[in-house]
Amino acid sequence: MRLKSQSLDLPPRGLSGVGLGLATAAGLSAAMVMTMASLPTTAAELPPNDYPTVARADYVFACMQVNGQTRENLQKCSCSIDVIAELLPYEKYEEAETVLSVVQKGGESVSVFHSPLFQEKVKELKRAQVEGELRCF
């Protein structure tokens, strides 16, 4: 959404660490732009692996809670979110995250999130997560 021009003035947020797991310099600079744009929502402009550090850290935090807080698990959990980020643009990850979060509220208003369309977004994330497990654990 017309983000880039003005959003470059924004202070960089959590830039360090965003480059983790990026293969190319082009990918890195694009990711930096997107980070400065503070989490854009439009897929078309996004390169792969555009996750903000806070989203990666949130994932690794939870992953280490269940697998154990060891150096080895830090490695595995980081690897697993990097695989997800490679397979799924952040926009898709965020959509699935929103669906998973919002359905925890019951009631008529959230029933739309139980529709196949939204559940498919969650399944896409789960598929990426399985891939992460196969490669990293």
Partner 1 sequence: MRKSALTGALLATTFIASPALANDDVLKQTANPNQWVLQTGDYFNQRYSKLDQINKDNVKNLKVAWTFSTGVLRGHEGSPIVIGDTMYVHTPFPNIVYALDLNNEGRIIWKYEPKQDPSVIPVMCCDTVNRGLAYADGKVFLHQADTTVVALDAKNGKEIWKAVNGDPKKGETNTATVLPVKDKVIVGISGGEFGVQCHVTAYDMNTGKKVWRGYSIGPDDQILVDAEKTMSLGKPVGKDSSLKTWQGDQWKIGGGCTWGWFSYDPDLNLMYYGSGNPSTWNPTQRPGDNKWSMTLWGRDVDTGVAKWVYQMTPFDEWDYDGINEVILADIKVKGKDRKVAVHFDRNGFGYTLDRGTGELLVAEKYDPAVNWSTGVEMDPSKPNYGRPYVVDKYSTAKNGADVNTKGICPAALGSKDQQPATFSPKTGMFYVPTNHVCMDYEPFKVSYTAGQPYVGATLSMYPAPNSHGGMGNFIAWDAGEGKIVWSKPEPFSVWSGALATAGDVVFYGTLEGYLKAVDPKDGKELFKFKTASGIIGNVMTYSHKGKQYVALLSGIGGWAGIGLAAGLTNPNDGLGAVGGYAGLKNYTALGGVLTVFTLP
The only residue of 17, 53, 67, 119 in contact with partner 1, by rule CB under 8 A: 67
- 89 in contact with partner 1 (CB under 8 A): no
The DSSP call for residue 83 is H
- C-alpha span between 86 and 129 (Å, rounded): 11
- Helix/strand/coil for 9: coil
Cβ-based neighbours of 85, under 8 Å, separated by 6 or more: 21, 48, 49, 50, 51, 56, 93
Nearer to partner 1, 16 or 69 (CB): 69
- 3 in contact with partner 1 (CB under 8 A): yes
Q: How far is the CB of 112 from partner 1 (least distance, A)?
A: 4
The only residue of 12, 23, 29, 65 in contact with partner 1, by rule CB under 8 A: 65
- Helix/strand/coil for 67: helix
The only residue of 111, 120, 123, 127 in contact with partner 1, by rule CB under 8 A: 111
Q: How many CB atoms lie within 10 A of CB 49?
A: 25
Q: State the residues that interact with partner 1 by CB under 8 A.
A: 1-3, 6-7, 9-11, 38-39, 41, 54, 58-67, 73, 76-77, 80-81, 91, 93-98, 100-112, 115, 117, 125-126, 129, 132-133, 136-137
